[in-house]
Structure 1
Amino acid sequence: MSARLAVSAQRWEDLTFLHWPVEPGLVQRWLPPGLVVQTVGGATWVGVVPFLMADVRVPPLPALGGWSRFAELNVRVYVRDRAGTEGVWFGGLWATRRAFVAAARAAGVPYHPAAGVVEADGPDVVRYRFRATGRRGPFRVAHEHPALTGGRLTAVVRAHEEVDATSGLASWLTARWSGYGFRAGRPWRFPVAHEPWTLRRGTLDVLETDLPERLGLPGGEPPLVHVAAPVAARFAVPRPVPPTAAGP
């Protein structure tokens, strides 16, 4: 994606993917018309992803100091649209920067305000603390998950050896080049480009969260954990998903 096409640029730091396998029907009922849940090996996966947003800006403008750095947490599932494009649908997202929350909600992406901290403890350990304020933020967003206005997560993640991010399940979960929002009665696709992932196997020293319970997911199973090296990312102008598979 060229710089002139990007409407948002940012850097994702101290990012961890937590994933649980889920029966596809549980996820399909959350999705708006026009999106279909994807499966691998008969299951789909729900991701919980905490990280630090850095250098957030609107190209060609520079990042605005401390404003451009804040904590984010999101819940994501994996979908395909009517044109066959694969991407990510966000059940809910939380950020500690209220102006960013408002701008994203205006674009049809279900962000919520939250208190949150992301702290790296050396090269191998990251600590996360998030608690939603319980408020939706400005602007109504269609098809946002009603249970995800609130939510909390405390985690201490430890990174180990590098894993192959270019094939298999790790690639299926992380190599996604579109995100989706919903406005004006239809899904909109947000093309995204970022540097290749470098992933390490992760383990959890601590995990306390009510997000699986809020989603109605079976509890008790530990998640699959991947810890990512920082990447720079750009988002292009969103486009409405066509009503049929006649075009991209």
Structure 2
Amino acid sequence: MKKSWIMKQDWNDLIFIHWPVKVDDLRPHVPDCFDIDTYEGWAWIAIVPFQMKNIQLRGLPPVPGFNQLLELNVRTYVTYNGEPGVYFYTLDANHLIGVGIARYVFGLNYVTARMSLDQQDGTYHFLSRRTHTGYPPAHFHARYKPVSPVLRTQPGSLMYWLTERYALWVNRGKRIYKGPIFHQNWQLQKAEVEMPINDLTDFLPSSVFDRKPVAYFSKNLHTSIFPFERYQ
């Protein structure tokens, strides 16, 4: 990339929890400016809880109390002018200042929440309770663990299509922005997940979540965030 990164982050103890969804069910919830990306005719919805560490802004030293947080995002996959990327519905996080900066600077739908992430006997327990003013309450509780060795992501596979995404798309009024992200290929393991509570995806038919999700775990990924590019 020609431009320099503006932020670096490590994403730890992350799980992708995916379900296929009919395009017609998803279309009302994606801005018209974006085309819904599909794999073998299906759109996909994902919940992604993880821990973000070693947050560093370019040119600044790590700031104690600001360089880590918990995050829980709800996302789907879109294209703009044929270029694939991620579209975020919500991004819950347990850092008030970080949420404010992300909302104001990047236009992302970050919201505050009380969160915890614990590990017991190889199983991760992620809990979240949304606290953001003006948003309805949303609770989430998941238990997850990796159950396979690290897998190789093959281009063309569903696993590759779901995870190897290097841009996020944002619409702010009539303007569209691309947020480039750089990282090495994910080191993924198959995962088992249980979700006793999930209020994050109530905008979709409950039948979507009757089937077992496609889940992949990543222990660690180092990422670089680049300046947003305005497209319109």
- Does TM, scored on the shorter chain, surpass 0.5? yes
| 1:233 aligns to 2:223 (yes or no) | yes
The separation in 1 between residues aligned to 2:201 and 2:114, in whole angstroms, is 19
Equivalent-residue separation in structure 2 for 1:233 and 1:207 (angstroms): 31
Counterpart position of 2:179: 190
Instruction: Name the CA distance, whole Å, in 1 between partners of 2:6 and 2:161.
Output: 26
Q: CA RMSD in A?
A: 1.9
Q: Which amino acid aligns with 2:151?
A: V
Measure the CA separation in 1 of the matches of 2:4 and 2:27. Answer: 32
Counterparts in 2 of 1:94-113, with a 5 A limit?
94-106=92-104, 107-113=106-112
Q: 1:156 aligns with which of 139, 143, 146?
A: 143
Identify the match of residue 204 of structure 1 among 174, 178, 193. 193
Q: In 1, Cα distance between the equivalents of 2:99 and 2:24?
A: 29
Letter in 2 for 1:20: W
The question of whether the paired residues in 1 share the 8 Å contact of 2:129 and 2:139 is answered with: yes
1:125 corresponds in structure 2 to: 123
- Cα deviation code 1:56-95 (max 9, x no counterpart): 121122221232111000000000002x211000011111
- Paired residues, what number? 228
Deviates more, 1:161-170 or 1:214-223: 214-223
Per the alignment, residue 38 of structure 2 pairs with 39
| CA distance in structure 2 between the aligned counterparts of 1:43 and 1:214, rounded to whole angstroms | 18
Q: Say whether the 8 Å CA contact 1:118–1:127 is kept in structure 2.
A: yes
8 Å contact 1:120–1:126 — kept in the other structure?
yes
Amino acid at match of 1:151: A
AA matched with 1:187? I
Gaps of 5+ in 1: 137-147, 243-248
Which of 144, 153, 178 in structure 2 is aligned with 1:165?
153
The structural deviation recorded for 1:194 is: 1.3
CA distance in structure 2 between the aligned counterparts of 1:213 and 1:221, rounded to whole angstroms = 16
Indicate how the Cα distance of structure 1 residues 182 and 149 shifts in structure 2: closer, same or farther if over 3 A, else same.
farther
Q: 1:55 to 1:23 in 2, by over 3 A?
A: same
The answer to whether the 8 A contact 1:112-1:149 is kept is no
Report if aligned partners of 1:22, 1:217 keep a CA contact under 8 Å in 2.
Answer: no
Q: Distance in 1 between matches of 2:145 and 2:22?
A: 28
Q: Which amino acid is 2:190 matched to?
A: R
What is the aligned partner in structure 1 of residue 85 from structure 2?
Answer: 87
- CA offset at residue 217 of structure 1? 4.6
Q: Matched residues, percent identical?
A: 25
Query: Given the two structures, how large is their TM-score scaled by the length of structure 1?
Result: 0.85
Shift of 1:184: 4.4
Give the TM-score normalised by structure 2: 0.91
Equivalent pair of 2:7/2:55 in contact (CA under 8 Å): yes
For 1:211 and 1:97, the matched residues in 2 are separated by 19
